[in-house]
Each structure stands twice: as structure tokens, then as C-alpha cells.
Structure 1
Amino acid sequence: MALSGNHKAGRVTVFSVPGCSQCLQAKATLQALNLPVCEVDVSHDAAVQAWLDKMTGSSTVPQIFFNNVHIGGNESLQKLAPKELEALVRMVNEKPLPPDALPVPAGNIPITASELSEALRNLIMKLYSDHLSADGKSVDYSAMSKSSCYERYCELAVYLQRVELLSLTHEERLAFFINVYNALVIHGYLRLGFPTNMWQRYRFFNYVSYLIGGEVFTLQDIENGVLRGNRKGIAQLLKPFSKTDPRLQVALPEAEPLIHFALNCGAKACPPIRTYTSNGIVRQLRTAAEVFLEADDGCIVDSVKREVKLSKIFKWYKEDFGDTDEK
């Protein structure tokens, strides 16, 4: 795994816990300085937490180290005088990590969202190729759950909690959340089983979630909150994100209608399962739309009756395709 940001001589180490607003603010400040940030999650390791308490004399997070220099928490970071901060940044940029720098527990070197998405994408591609049906519309969940590749996927998915979402470009955000959505659906089915009625389906898509970048994202949040620009979902009374919800910052500025040809919720009418990359994402989505419409489920032309029947997707999400019930 690689450090986030460009390669530097030294390192900034941030000891934190998921969902901590002070930790997120500190990381955002450090990443804005283009520093290599190594985040260590202490929430699940009492030994690391005790060790940190002893080293710093504090039980709060974050605790921040520039190489071997402990500056304290987020408040201390924000209050650094410009010259002090400049000196610390220069030290990290120019001086290698000293021998007496705090050791980082194994497995705590984070990777960027793009790197993680790529790694998860590669695992999903492997799982798809091994367990996907010939038509690309269904998965052998039983066989997949016993796969060593699936075990590795579960291990890697834990790192989603550490990714930095705000640094993603529009294209990276599209590819990242489409891939994560499709993977989360499969992960949810493997853990909880396939919903068999409307109530189970409602609960599944509103409760199955990943912790991404310190925030919880359900399937509804990803589809309607992020990828549809924070629009109400089917049978939803409210938008996924309120005006004060921090997740609103990662929502697309407006709905991307092409996602409906990429997201697969497990229903028979859904598009085939594929994975996407940020490079050429729009072209990939257009191709997915063309493939979907060429299939019988997507578009049926009756030349005798002079009728064209489209998938229900166009009715369910007509607002995204340019129509609305609003007057």
C-alpha cells in the first residue's frame, strides 16, 4: 500500500478514529498542504490506544506527528503560527523519517480512494468472472461466499473508512461510487441474503452500508445522494442528505442519468454488472447505455403497432432524463 499524496522524504502520522470531525478537519488541512499523511486507526486496537496514551500523555484524537515531532491535536495544528507550520512542512518535505519516529502498526498505511477503488475493482472483476452468469445479470452468491478472493475483498473493504473523498475529481467520484455500489449490493446479499418482499427490499437498500471516509453511506445514499445529486429516491419522502449533512460535499452537482445503465441492484431488469474506471468514464457509461437499450429488456420496437416500449427505469427516474411531475 502507498502513502496518500505525492512521495515525500518524511511523513505526517495522524492517530485517529472513524467519524471523528476533528480528525477529518486535521487530515483535510494536512492534505491541502500536499503532505504524505499516514492515518492510524486506534478504534479497534486497545494496545495501540494505550501505547499512544503513554507516548503523548493524552487519550484524545487526533494526535499528530510531523516525522518525530508531536504537535498535539487538531486545535494545536490549526493554531500553529505560519512560520512554525512552514518549518514543519519543510522538515517533512526535505528530511527523511528519523530512526526515532513513531513506528506505525502493520496494516495502517492508508491508500487513496482511487487506489482503493482500483484494488476493489480488480477483486470484483475476478469475482465476477468466476461467478457471474453468462448473460452478466446474476451472480452465484453461494459459491462466491466461499471464495478466497471474496475474503480478500472483505479485508480490503475495511479500508474504505480511511479514503479521502473530497480530493476526488468528478470522473473519479463517478467511477468510485458506481463500483462501490455494485460491490456493496453483492456484499449485502452474501451477508444477509436476497430480499424476498418489498419491506425487506426497502430495509436492504436503506440500511446496508459501508463506512466511507468516516461517514456511513447506504445504497440509497450512494445512488440518490451522491450519484443523483441528492434527489429523492423511489417512494422516498426526503432527500438523502440535509443541507448540513457533511456527505452533501461529495454529492455530484447534478444527477448523472447514465448511472442507471451502470448500477445493478440485483433485479432482473437491471443492467449487466460491470466495473468502471475514471479514465473515460463518460464513454464507458454511454457504451453501457447503448448495450442496455439494444437488449430486449431495455427497448422493444413494435413496427406493426408503431410502438416503442422502454425499460421501467425511464419511468422510475424520468426526472433524471429530462421530465418531471413538478409544475
Structure 2
Amino acid sequence: MSKKVLNEAVPVQQDGSSWEPVQLAVQLQKDMLKLKGEYMSDDGRSVDYVRLKNSDTFKDYIKQTCQLHYLDLTKLSLTERKAFFINVYNSLTIHGLADCDQLPSSVLEVKDFWANTCYNIGGLVFSLDDMEHGILRGNRPHPSVAHKQQHHFSQDDDPRTQLAMSSVDPRVHFALVCGAKSCPAIQVYTSDNLDRALEGAARSFCGQEVNVEGNKVTVSKILEWYASDFGANENELLSWISKYLPNDLQQQLVRLLSDNEPITIDSRPYNWTLNH
């Protein structure tokens, strides 16, 4: 399957000048907030794709995405770029699912969805995988191929490598929405509140998806798949998680770690049913 660039239509560039990157990023954030208010549940965990697809708000959003062709990402600060790619990842996921001829019951039914659903940004094509692994995870490989390759963007001359985060911020995993019911809630992020918002997303997700009972810690599959982003070993992973748990669970987990007792880590099944 070839790449599916959902903003292929190129707008007429006004006066031959480039679009202001921060201004466009803010406009896309506003469009997403409007879509969220009209077609997503209050908790951000479900999307009414059918109503959204046929709405004027969504059509306006699609027009804005065409302006991404002229966006100069190098003019965004690291914080602005991080917020931008989190928002665009989530909106591209929604756009990609809404663009399906028939809405799937699970995103897994759409062949190579994350590898082939793309936007053209600044003349470069970014798939969902490119945004997540290449940019937001600091050019780390997908967990499924980590034993085969060192980086997501494997070519040294790939211009997208210069846009990658200098290091991985594990909290982004609680901000990215893949279209499944087990995904984190959809939020819209700005550079001004990014750190605070990611802290909140981490606390909310870990508080809902992590449980400590005896010497057994049950976690989301996300924490299992991306364990290396959170620490070099299981103890470092659990220590990281503990900071984002409610007080009672935090105390239990900290006590387990300090006692040096064997800890069993289990993961709950991931619900891939479409978040609608």
C-alpha cells in the first residue's frame, strides 16, 4: 500500500511568502478544540466520526491542513515543535479514520494505518509512525523492529532527522491517540502549557491504567511496549510510574521497590475497538 497523503491539495501561496509557523500551529489547535467540543466526548475518549466527517468544521480543518505544505518547522522552538507534532498526530489519526470509505470497527482493520497515513509538512511527508517514532521519540525505532534497526529515520541525509526531539519525553505516550478505546484521552496542547498538560496526562493515564496488589503491578500495554523509554530496566520503569500514581498506590509501589522484593509486572489486554 502506498503512502496516503491526506493534505495533497496545495493552496495558492499568498504574495509568495511562507506561512507563519506559530500562527498556523495555533490555528490548527483552535480547529481541533472546536472539533473536540462538537464531536468528542467530554472525557476525550470517544469521537463521533460520522458526524465529524460531514461537518463544516471538519471541512475547514482540512483546508487548514493544506497550508502545512508551506510550514517551516525549523522556525518552531523545541517546545513548540513537540506540542505541534502531538496535536497533528492526533488530528491526523482522526482525519485518517474519518477518510475511510467505511468506518472500521478497529483501527487494526486498516492495513498499515500508522505507516501510510500522512501529511505533507513543509514539503516533507510525515506518516503517523514518522511523527511518533522519528520526531517525538527522538528518532528511536518502533519497538517491533528495535532489534533490527537503531533509528526510525535510517538515512543520515533524511532532512526529517534534524526535526527530531533531542531526547524522548515518556509522557508523550499519554498524549498520543491511536484511535482505540484503550488509548489516552484526546487533548489539545499548546507550547505555553505543555509541561503542565503532559504531567496531567501522565497522572490521569497512570491513575486509571496502573494497579498495585501485593507484589504484582498491572500496567497498560503502552508501558510494556515502550518500557525502554521509561527506564533501562523494570525497576526504573516502576520508579518512573510511581511518581504519577495516587498516593495510596504510590506508597505501595515505593515500599515494594525499597524492600527489594521480587515484583511481578503484568499488562492488561489492550482494547483495539475504535474509540467512537
Q: Does the alignment reach a TM-score above 0.5? A: yes
Gaps of 5+ in 1: 1-42, 46-103
1:24-43 alignment runs, 5 A limit: none
Question: What is the CA deviation profile of residues 121-143 of structure 1, one whole-angstrom value per residue up to 9, with x for unaligned ones?
Answer: 11111111111124321100000
- Cα distance in 2 for partners of 1:280, 1:126 equals 18
Aligned pair count?
221
Are 2:167 and 1:254 aligned?
yes
Whether the 8 Å contact between 1:124 and 1:183 is mirrored in structure 2 is yes
Task: After TM superposition, give the deviation of residue 307 of structure 1 in Å.
Answer: 2.8
Q: Which has the larger radius of gyration?
A: 1
The partner residue of 1:151 within 46, 51, 59 is: 59
Q: Describe the superposition over 1:138-188 as per-residue Cα deviations: whole angstroms up to 9, x where unpaired.
A: 100000011101000000100111111112111001100000000000000
Measure the CA separation in 2 of the matches of 1:234 and 1:200.
20
**Map of 1:63 onto structure 2:** none
Q: CA deviation at 1:323?
A: 2.6
Q: Which residue of 2 aligns with 1:184?
A: 92
Amino acid at match of 1:299: V
2:38 maps to which residue?
Answer: 130
Q: In structure 1, what is the equivalent of residue 81 of structure 2?
A: 173
TM-score (norm 1): 0.62
Q: In the aligned structure 1, how far is the partner of 2:159 from the partner of 2:122?
A: 11
In the TM superposition, what are the counterparts of 1:77-156 in structure 2 within 5 Å?
110-156=18-64
Match among 117, 126, 140 for residue 217 of structure 1: 126
- SS of the residue corresponding to residue 247 of structure 1 reads helix
**Is the 2:10–2:69 Cα contact (8 Å) retained in structure 1?**
no
Tell me which residue corresponds to 1:227.
136
C-alpha spacing 1:253/1:106, structure 2 compared with 1 (3 Å): closer
Find the aligned partners of 1:177 and 1:114 in 2 and give their Cα distance: 12
1:109 CA drift (Å): 5.4
Larger relative contact order (CA 8 Å, sep ≥ 6): 2
1:301 aligns with 2:212: yes
Q: For structure 2, which runs of at least 5 residues remain unmatched after alignment?
A: 1-8, 235-276
Structure 1 residues 122, 189: closer, same or farther in 2, change over 3 A?
same
What is the letter of the counterpart of residue 227 of structure 2? K
Q: Within 1, Cα distance between the matches of 2:129 and 2:95?
A: 15
CA contact (8 A) 2:106 2:180 kept: no
**1:162 is matched with which residue: 33, 58, 70?**
70
Mapped partners of 1:203, 1:265: distance in 2: 13
Amino acid at match of 1:205: W
Alignment deviations for residues 237-256 of structure 1 (CA, whole Å, 9 cap, x no partner): 44321211110010011112
Question: 2:193 pairs with 266, 270, 280, which one?
Answer: 280
Change (3 A) 1:132 1:108: farther
Task: Give CA deviations for 1:80-99 in whole Å, capped at 9, x if unaligned.
Answer: xxxxxxxxxxxxxxxxxxxx
Tell me if structure 2 keeps the 8 A contact 1:114–1:176. Answer: no
Q: Which residue of 208, 222, 225 corresponds with 2:117? A: 208
Partner of residue 224 from structure 2, selected from 292, 309, 315: 315
Q: Which has the higher helix share?
A: 2
Report the TM-score when normalising by structure 2.
0.73
